[in-house]
Chain A
Amino acid sequence: MLSYFALLASWWPLKPGSSRRRRRKQTRRCCTADDCREMYCNKFGTSLMFGLKGLEATSARGAFQRAAARSGFSWAAVCKQRTLRQQRSACAGMHQTGVRSAVHTTVDPGEVKRFQLLANKWWDEEGDFAALHAMNDLRVPFVRDNLLNAQRERHPGQPLAGLRILDVGCGGGLLSEPLGRLGATVLGIDPVEDGVRIAQLHAAHDPDLRDQVSYRACTLEELAGGGEAQQLQQPEQGVTQFDAVVASEVVEHLADLDTFAICCSRVLKPGGSLFITTLNKTNLSYALAIVVAEQLLHIVPRGTHDWEKFVSPVELERLLESNGFLVQSVQGMLYNPISGAWSWTSNTEINYALHAVKQDDEAEDGSTPLGGPR
């Protein structure tokens, strides 16, 4: 009975969002109510079951409408999202055709708008982005150690000297600055202009960073594609070649991952490294990263993540390898909300970090597989 109401809810408009409506139209055609109900009953976790049991039987439509209209946390909204997800994964199989349409651009305008509103909060270490600041403790050593392994020379005090790094989705420059301090020449790009401006202002005070770190408000496609020589630094080469590309907490906000992988491949030198940190697409990541982190504990601003856009390491690895990368290591990361600190873990179910190397144009790669960080 209750599952029937949940099914009804799936047909009900949620918040204004064209992507969601488009997805619902696609799925309505392909699954039967029986399939979805059965699968729904099987997969439901206990915590959400509690919420579902609390719903009144009467006036289900009204209840869901009110739930939709409220922007605060509600179990009903959570249940609805889960139902949609279950239906889609049952009907569409393992392929995520509905989530990211093949628009050949990595930028999602909804995401851009959301981050514009948060632009001024980037550098408050105890504010909305506290978890990202804390993540530097993991991702900077991750990038640094893997790059050092590939390098021959050692420069005391500036371990990454001489390397060119591209930080995709740099935001306020949280990751670009530490990499710049380690001696690398960093270019940070982000489609959100306000964030780039904040990043430039922050780096402008520090004389060490002024020469190392630069920012540009553009997308990865604009940087990678086009024959416009004017935007690129080195006239003797066609496209600027970076030693490493870092895309930390970015791929879960992108519209099209294929384009992203192709562009990364284009801007990287052969043998260059690609570092990605993102969230896995599992039940656990839904429960922890969306329900707990966003809605309960407010570790992350509400609405930051869309579970549909999460990508599993297997999926990401397949995507990268079909675009000329060889994945060297995948390592799980775990956030402790009490201490506010991140740690490495072997479990990749929630957050994970991935290191891939661009294959040389010849078939074989010479690099030995690197172990996970520390």
Chain B
Amino acid sequence: MHKLTKAPLALNGLGRCLITEKHLPPVNIIRRGLVCSENRTDCSKTEVYDVIISGGGMVGSAMACSLGMDPNLAGKKILLLEAGHKKVMDRVPDTYSTRVSSISPGSATLLSGIGAWEQVTRMRCKPYKRMQVWDACSDALITFDKEDLLDEMAYIVENDIVVAAITRQLDAMPENVQVKYKTKVVKYTWPMPHHAAESIPWVKVTLANGQTLQTKLLIGADGPNSMVRQKLGIPTVKWNYDQSAVVAVLHLSEPTENNVAWQRFLPTGPIAMLPLSDTESSLVWSTSHYLAEELLELDEESFVDAINSAFWSNENQSDLVETAGALFRGALSAIMPSAGSPRQLPPSVAGIGPKSRVMFPLGVGHASEYIRHRVALIGDAAHRVHPLAGQGVNLGFGDVACLTHLLSQAAFNGKDLGAIQHLLEYETERQRHNLPMMTAIDLMKRLYSTNAAPAVLLRTFGLQATNMLPTLKVSFHIF
């Protein structure tokens, strides 16, 4: 019924774009305005999705599954775009993969909510009941466990298995949830924040094959080097640790009830042994780039020796620290005689899995904004942490749970899914949760990166005190 013709439409679009918009430079505004007004007539031909998720890793595919299964979002068109190929696992491979994650009980709840956890347990997963963390420069140690050692603390699962389980669930979903594999996105076009009547209000996604899609909400789950985040120009606090992680699959000398996760803080970085089965464990050794390369070049026997000595040797301890630590421990046990736990040594390693030594660089990053108009970031795209606490993917699953809940409520209230109000709620809630965790992990990494006496004494006392005081321990036990 409106009588606007194309020419005044284009002019109107241009005019509106010249109204200053906080986040964009003027050239982009004008360019964007012209793009919007030109494509006005095309909008009816391109299909409009309700949600497009860019990135099909563990977090992205969990998001797609979670949205698809929500009753309030029934019938909404959801699309997952993944650049890699579909990960199908009809049969679990005999060898373990080197990339593993520690799945916390909260994440396990989310995965069982989408029906993927059952698949995971059927395939392969290893629960562990205790975690021992100790220092190389002193005797201080801390153990985490559930009260009576009957409940599992967390699970070690290979990343491939998680993705395969979720993929199996996605296959079983109704047709409003689609997945496009081997699909790369080359361009994103952002909508104007104030809805100018003549411009297209949706996010436009251009694929490598030339196809364009439109969506009311774009969720960026494309990893630490997120293209979505870069294209939005969201300022990100990030730096590279001058550390790389060496991962490998270890064969233990003898079979044991392998249900403890071990982590020792060396001055060069933490080394962790995570149980995979009774005879095998996964190694994650974060150390300097130079040492990491050296480790990769060692032959198998020397590599195994290096691992064993890293866990067992006491050469980094000085007498001063040892005496001080012993005194402090004595004092604490006078106050709280029953606290503390006996120190155990990890199992020794006999060999490593064939061709399983890999290294990758470590860094930390945090996007200052998780959301923009019609866009939200989840998982590593929003936050990236050091693996020493095993929390990276758990934070991502936490994002998935929070955002699904808020989108479900918004849909039940008839709201536009890309509206900024509930996206702001998501950002606030998750930043409040993620930032303290990330700060704590970063602080821990820095504190343990030195063997200067004052720092060592500080962390020795701190660790011993935390080990003995249950309340402090619980607050760190943020699993």
A119 to B72, CA, bound (A): 33
A105 to chain B, nearest CB (A): 24
0 or 1 for each of B63-104: is its CB under 8 Å from A? (1 = yes): 000000001111110000000000000000000000000000
Q: Which of A136, A137, A181, A205 contacts B43 (CB under 8 A)?
A: A205
Evaluate whether A198 and B197 lie within 8 angstroms (CB atoms) in the complex, with A156-B74, A157-B71, A157-B74 already known.
Answer: yes
Interface residues in A171-217 by Cβ distance below 8 A to B read: 177-182, 197-198, 200-202, 205-207
Interface residues in A347-371 by Cβ distance below 8 A to B read: none
Q: Which of A158, A179, A181, A202 contacts B195 (CB under 8 A)?
A: A202
Residue B312 CB within 8 A of the other chain: no
Interface residues in B41-55 by Cβ distance below 8 A to A read: 43, 48
In the complex, chain A residues whose CB is within 8 Å of the CB of B195: 123-124, 202
In the complex, chain A residues whose CB is within 8 Å of the CB of B412: 144, 159, 182
A59 to B81, CA, bound (A): 76
Evaluate whether A124 and B194 lie within 8 angstroms (CB atoms) in the complex, with A182-B414, A205-B202 already known.
Answer: yes
Interface residues in B411-434 by Cβ distance below 8 A to A read: 411-416, 419-421
Evaluate whether A201 and B197 lie within 8 angstroms (CB atoms) in the complex, with A157-B71, A157-B74, A157-B76 already known.
Answer: yes
Residue B201 CB within 8 A of the other chain: yes
Evaluate whether A140 and B414 lie within 8 angstroms (CB atoms) in the complex, with A205-B201, A206-B48 already known.
Answer: yes
- The answer to whether B414 and A144 touch across the interface, beta carbons within 8 angstroms, is yes
Chain B: residues with Cβ within 8 Å of the partner, total of 27
B338 to chain A, nearest CB (A): 49
- The answer to whether A202 and B197 touch across the interface, beta carbons within 8 angstroms, is yes
A181 to B48, CA, bound (A): 15
Residue A110 CB within 8 A of the other chain: no
- The answer to whether B200 and A205 touch across the interface, beta carbons within 8 angstroms, is yes
A179 to B43, CA, bound (A): 23
Residue B122 CB within 8 A of the other chain: no
A338 to chain B, nearest CB (A): 16
Q: Which of B1, B76, B414 contacts A179 (CB under 8 A)?
A: B414
0 or 1 for each of B372-413: is its CB under 8 Å from A? (1 = yes): 000000000000000000000000000000000000000111
A325 to B268, CA, bound (A): 79
Interface residues in B2-28 by Cβ distance below 8 A to A read: 2
A36 to chain B, nearest CB (A): 48
- The answer to whether A136 and B413 touch across the interface, beta carbons within 8 angstroms, is yes
A136 to B416, CA, bound (A): 12
A197 to B198, CA, bound (A): 12
Report which residue of B2, B194, B197, B411 has the largest number of chain A beta carbons within 10 angstroms of its beta carbon.
B197
By size class, the interface of chain A is: 20 to 34
Residue A125 CB within 8 A of the other chain: yes
A182 to B414, CA, bound (A): 5
Q: Which of B71, B200, B201, B415 contacts A181 (CB under 8 A)?
A: B415
The closest CB in chain A to the CB of B414 belongs to A178
Evaluate whether A207 and B48 lie within 8 angstroms (CB atoms) in the complex, with A140-B414, A181-B415, A182-B414 already known.
Answer: yes
- The answer to whether B48 and A137 touch across the interface, beta carbons within 8 angstroms, is no
**Interface majority SS (helix, strand, loop, mixed), chain B:** loop
Residue A141 CB within 8 A of the other chain: yes
A205 to B43, CA, bound (A): 8
In the complex, chain A residues whose CB is within 8 Å of the CB of B414: 136, 140, 144, 177-182
A2 to B415, CA, bound (A): 53
Evaluate whether A157 and B415 lie within 8 angstroms (CB atoms) in the complex, with A198-B197, A202-B195, A202-B197 already known.
Answer: no
- The answer to whether A201 and B2 touch across the interface, beta carbons within 8 angstroms, is yes
- The answer to whether A157 and B73 touch across the interface, beta carbons within 8 angstroms, is yes
A154 to chain B, nearest CB (A): 10
A136 to B71, CA, bound (A): 22
In the complex, chain A residues whose CB is within 8 Å of the CB of B48: 206-207
A140 to B412, CA, bound (A): 9
- The answer to whether B2 and A197 touch across the interface, beta carbons within 8 angstroms, is yes
Q: Which of B43, B72, B413 contacts A157 (CB under 8 A)?
A: B72
Report which residue of B198, B413, B416 has the largest number of chain A beta carbons within 10 angstroms of its beta carbon.
B413
In the complex, chain B residues whose CB is within 8 Å of the CB of A207: 48
In the complex, chain B residues whose CB is within 8 Å of the CB of A180: 414
The closest CB in chain A to the CB of B74 belongs to A157
In the complex, chain B residues whose CB is within 8 Å of the CB of A206: 48, 216
A15 to B142, CA, bound (A): 78
In the complex, chain A residues whose CB is within 8 Å of the CB of B2: 197, 200-201
- The answer to whether B413 and A156 touch across the interface, beta carbons within 8 angstroms, is no
A182 to B416, CA, bound (A): 11
A200 to B2, CA, bound (A): 9
Q: Which of B71, B73, B413 contacts A140 (CB under 8 A)?
A: B413
A18 to B421, CA, bound (A): 42
Report which residue of A141, A179, A182, A202 has the largest number of chain B beta carbons within 10 angstroms of its beta carbon.
A182
A137 to B216, CA, bound (A): 20
The closest CB in chain B to the CB of A182 belongs to B414
In the complex, chain A residues whose CB is within 8 Å of the CB of B421: 125
The closest CB in chain A to the CB of B195 belongs to A123
0 or 1 for each of A78-112: is its CB under 8 Å from B? (1 = yes): 00000000000000000000000000000000000
A182 to B195, CA, bound (A): 21
B176 to chain A, nearest CB (A): 9
- The answer to whether B200 and A156 touch across the interface, beta carbons within 8 angstroms, is no
A157 to B73, CA, bound (A): 5
- The answer to whether A200 and B1 touch across the interface, beta carbons within 8 angstroms, is yes
Interface residues in A112-159 by Cβ distance below 8 A to B read: 123-125, 136-137, 140-141, 144, 156-159
- The answer to whether B71 and A156 touch across the interface, beta carbons within 8 angstroms, is yes
A281 to chain B, nearest CB (A): 30
In the complex, chain A residues whose CB is within 8 Å of the CB of B416: 177, 181
The closest CB in chain A to the CB of B44 belongs to A207
0 or 1 for each of B197-233: is its CB under 8 Å from A? (1 = yes): 1101110000000000000100000000000000000
A71 to chain B, nearest CB (A): 26
The closest CB in chain A to the CB of B198 belongs to A201
- The answer to whether A125 and B420 touch across the interface, beta carbons within 8 angstroms, is yes
A202 to B202, CA, bound (A): 12
A156 to B202, CA, bound (A): 25
In the complex, chain A residues whose CB is within 8 Å of the CB of B419: 125
A156 to B72, CA, bound (A): 6
A323 to chain B, nearest CB (A): 29
In the complex, chain A residues whose CB is within 8 Å of the CB of B413: 136-137, 140-141, 144, 178
B183 to chain A, nearest CB (A): 22
- The answer to whether B197 and A158 touch across the interface, beta carbons within 8 angstroms, is no
The closest CB in chain A to the CB of B413 belongs to A140
A290 to B152, CA, bound (A): 61
- The answer to whether A197 and B71 touch across the interface, beta carbons within 8 angstroms, is no
In the complex, chain A residues whose CB is within 8 Å of the CB of B411: 157, 181
B246 to chain A, nearest CB (A): 48
A157 to B74, CA, bound (A): 5
Complex A-B, nearest 4 residue pairs according to Cβ-Cβ distance, in ascending order: A178-B414, A157-B74, A201-B197, A156-B74
Give B residues with C-beta under 8 Å from A: 1-2, 43, 48, 71-76, 194-195, 197-198, 200-202, 216, 411-416, 419-421
Give A residues with C-beta under 8 Å from B: 123-125, 136-137, 140-141, 144, 156-159, 177-182, 197-198, 200-202, 205-207
Could you pull out 9 A-B pairs where Cβ atoms are within 8 angstroms?
A: A123-B195, A124-B194, A140-B414, A144-B413, A178-B413, A181-B415, A181-B416, A182-B414, A206-B48
Given A156-B71, A156-B72, A200-B2, 11 additional A-B pairs, CB 8 A: A123-B197, A125-B420, A144-B412, A157-B72, A157-B411, A158-B74, A178-B413, A178-B415, A197-B2, A202-B197, A206-B48
